[in-house]
Amino acid sequence: MMTRPVDQPAEAPARSSLALLYQGSAAEFVEVLKSEALGHSAVRHPYLRRFAQGEFPSMDFAVRDFALQYYVYSSGFTSYLQAVINGLAIKRHREVLSENLREEQGLVGQDCDHTPHAELFDRFRRATGVTEAIERAFVPCTTVRVWRDLFLQKCQSGQVGVGIGAIGIATELLVSDIYRQLLAGIRDHTCLAAEHEHFFELHIECDDGHAASLLAITEELCDNPDVREAVRFGVISSLNLRTAFWDVLLARASQPDRIAHGH
């Protein structure tokens, strides 16, 4: 049987983003990378499935723990967006993301009261039972702190493509799928009032449009193989960080009695 020499890299599958770094059109590369992201464990994780189906020993704990931990990452979303905007050379591209930023800040959008999205999530967080005393005692898990810090680094990267890959294909494209799973668990397996679902509903409705705009920008930038590589790095590394976060939340939600914290 023929064997591959040890110093020869394995050939990438014909329809992988890796195989399209140096061949094929920008549109084809982005479409394949998009498909890879949608099938990634960051979106298809056992934690999300079990959350949606209410399979944890204590859904009250799981939902409250999610709200506490996820806020560490999500409360910085405007900073992530602003960092990517700062790194874009083309004014038209900056304007697209600036509109998204204004929606996050509550300056424009579908809300009658134009509530900042971080405040909507905080209302949900409080509704799960997060009191001021719990908040004072709360110590974020290591993984969410690393995720927040490394994701911001990607958004701030001076290498063209890393930030747009991180905030676009690895985030905005996936949010509606992820939040649908979370919302199912909240609706079907908690007693939270419907008003506290608004953060998730808003992003399910809006983020597909954001994703389409970001995909168009990504495609424009990906005529350059170096940018394709940077975009792919931003996407894959960001997806892996999100998967690591779900891994830890799964471990915590599966054994709530063993988690030593103030809530």
Q: Give residue-wise pLDDT tens across range 32-53.
A: 999 999 999 999 999 999 999 9
Given a contact cutoff of 8 angstroms between Cβ atoms, the answer to whether 233 and 164 are in contact is no
What secondary structure, in 3-state letters, does 223-241 show? Answer: CCHHHHHHHHHHHHHHHHH
Number of domains composing the chain? 1
For residue 189, the enclosing domain spans 55-254
Q: H helices of 173-259, where? A: 173-189, 198-221, 225-254
Judge whether residue 150 has pLDDT over 70: yes
Is residue 60 one of the residues assigned to a domain?
yes
In a domain, residue 12? The reply is no
Q: Does residue 49 form part of some domain?
A: no
The answer to whether residue 35 sits within a structural domain is no
Q: What is the CATH number of the domain that holds 170?
A: 1.20.910.10
pLDDT of residue 205: 80
Q: What is the pLDDT of residue 2?
A: 39
pLDDT in tens, 212-257: 899 999 999 999 999 999 999 999 999 999 999 999 999 999 999 8
Domain-located, residue 4 = no
Check whether 136 has a pLDDT greater than 50.
yes
DSSP 69-94: HHHHHHTTHHHHHHHHHHT---HHHH
pLDDT interval class at 87 (50, 70, 90): very high
Least confident of 2-11, 19-28, 104-113, 210-219: 2-11
Q: Which pLDDT does position 185 carry in this prediction? A: 97
Q: Are 200 and 117 in contact (CB under 8 A)?
A: no
What's the chain's Rg over C-alpha atoms? 19
Establish if 154 belongs to a structural domain. Answer: yes
In a domain, 59, yes or no: yes
Q: What is the pLDDT of residue 175?
A: 93
Please state the rounded mean pLDDT for residues 135-161. Answer: 97
In a domain, 62, yes or no: yes
- Higher pLDDT: 5 or 241? It is 241
Averaged confidence pLDDT in the chain = 90
Q: Model confidence at 1, in pLDDT bands (50, 70, 90)?
A: very low
